[in-house]
Amino acid sequence: MSNILEVKDLKITFDTYAGKVQAIRGVSFDLKKGETLAIVGESGSGKSVTTRSIMQLLSQNANIEEGQILFDGQDLVKTSEKEMQNIRGKKIAMIFQDPMTSLNPTMTIEKQIAEPLRLHQNMNKQQAAERALELLKLVGLPDAEKRMKQYPHQFSGGQRQRVVIAIALACDPDILIADEPTTALDVTIQAQILELMKELQHKVNTSIIFITHDLGVVANVADRVAVMYAGKFVEVGTVDEVFYNPQHPYTWGLLASMPTLETNGSLYAIPGTPPDLLDPPKGDAFAPRNEYRMKIDTEHQPPMFKVSDTHYAATWLLHKDAPAINPPAEIMARQKVYKEKYAALHTEGGAK
Ligand SMILES: Nc1ncnc2c1ncn2[C@@H]1O[C@H](COP(=O)(O)OP(=O)(O)OP(=O)(O)O)[C@@H](O)[C@H]1O
Ligand SMILES: [Mg+2]
């Protein structure tokens, strides 16, 4: 599969009154055509900044210090604002956490979907209206003919997020970025929106970057997972690799803090707090919280060690001279249960 996006050694800082915040400290990844990549990490780890930089929607005080963002070979870092306006919404679309802020309260839903189609796709009024209806049906909005004449306040939170997804898909984008699209919704609606995202992945040939702080939702939605910590990717792999053969102690912590399928409560919280990005530590940023840390962790940042062709992790534990340390047995036992449950869901649900 070819890559639609290649991010290479991206470094982003923010100027603040207290100094330079080193928000993104060397991030590299690629996104293949048609795949869903989930980016997971704690609050402040840099998920939103990474994806906003792809859209070139960073705030005024942001600096892209280094790196390339190659979209279909074109470096978006060097692309003019005028040209970005042609890419944004049309080729790369983004949906945000709070669906209300993305909708215009004074315009009917029909108009909000049809407008970009007329603008970007040169559709006439009739064609745009037909496509709007088709999109609302695609995202599973009941009574679409009637509802497209209504305004955002007449919709529930989950319905609004469906509308936002329809707008994002309107121009058939190559990449859809979903930044925590379900966190503002209640749990049942969250599950429905996630199910919708999964269905859409099969129906439209869009690559998806799905941001979440909840590893639990990833297994069902993504092909690959990138675990982010303090402005870096610390582990990247297929869903199976990250869930069933995790290598980074931070990933172990995230897996241990995942709510089980039986309970809604989380079992564990990773002790400590993320580092101050105004003055990140010299060595591995996770070292102070890492119960398996070695001397080298406090001195040198680990490179990405290769585990398989698709699996990489930045931990000195993978160095050939490091002691062999396995993830805590209770986490792996839970992952095994998780896997079996998912296998059961897959067979029961057929192609789902
Ligand atoms: N405009 C800004 N000015 C200064 N610092 C910023 C700015 N925007 C983001 N940051 C900093 O960049 C870092 C990454 O922020 P980002 O919003 O990407 O985190 P996130 O992983 O999306 O977190 P969350 O899960 O809370 O959404 C944080 O340390 C944040 O404080
Ligand atoms: Mg965010």
pLDDT above 90: residue 91? yes
Which one of the ligands is nearest to 25 CA? Answer: 1
Per-residue confidence (pLDDT) for residue 101, from 0 to 100: 78
Distance from residue 221's CA to the centre of ligand 1 (Å): 24
Q: Contact, 315 vs 333, CB < 8 A?
A: no
Instruction: Report, as an integer, the average pLDDT of 79-95.
Output: 92
Which one of the ligands is nearest to 61 CA? Answer: 1
Q: List domains and CATH numbers for the chain.
A: 3-222 (3.40.50.300), 227-347 (3.40.50.300)
Distance from residue 197's CA to the centre of ligand 1 (Å): 25
For residues 54 and 51, give the distance between their C-alpha atoms in angstroms, rounded to a whole number: 5
Instruction: Report, as an integer, the average pLDDT of 100-125.
Output: 89
Torsion angle defined by CA atoms of residues 151, 155, 158 and 160, in that order, rounded to the nearest 10 degrees: 0
Average confidence score pLDDT of the chain: 89
Question: Is residue 147 within 6 Å of ligand 1 at its C-beta?
Answer: no
Torsion angle defined by CA atoms of residues 173, 179, 180 and 186, in that order, rounded to the nearest 10 degrees: -60
pLDDT digits (tens, 9 = 90+) for 11-59: 999 999 999 999 999 999 999 999 999 999 999 999 999 999 999 999 9
Distance from residue 98's CA to the centre of ligand 1 (Å): 17
Q: Contact, 32 vs 87, CB < 8 A?
A: no
pLDDT above 50: residue 352? no
Instruction: Report, as an integer, the average pLDDT of 241-249.
Output: 93
Per-residue confidence (pLDDT) for residue 349, from 0 to 100: 42
pLDDT above 70: residue 345? no
Distance from residue 18's CA to the centre of ligand 1 (Å): 15
pTM: 0.92
Crossing angle for the helix pair 125-138 and 157-169, nearest 10 degrees? 130
Q: Which atom of ligand 1 is nearest to the CA of 211?
A: 22
Q: What is the DSSP string of 130-155?
A: HHHHHHHHHTT-TTHHHHTTS-GGGS
pLDDT above 80: residue 304? yes
Which one of the ligands is nearest to 52 CA? Answer: 1
Q: Give percent of the chain above pLDDT 90.
A: 62
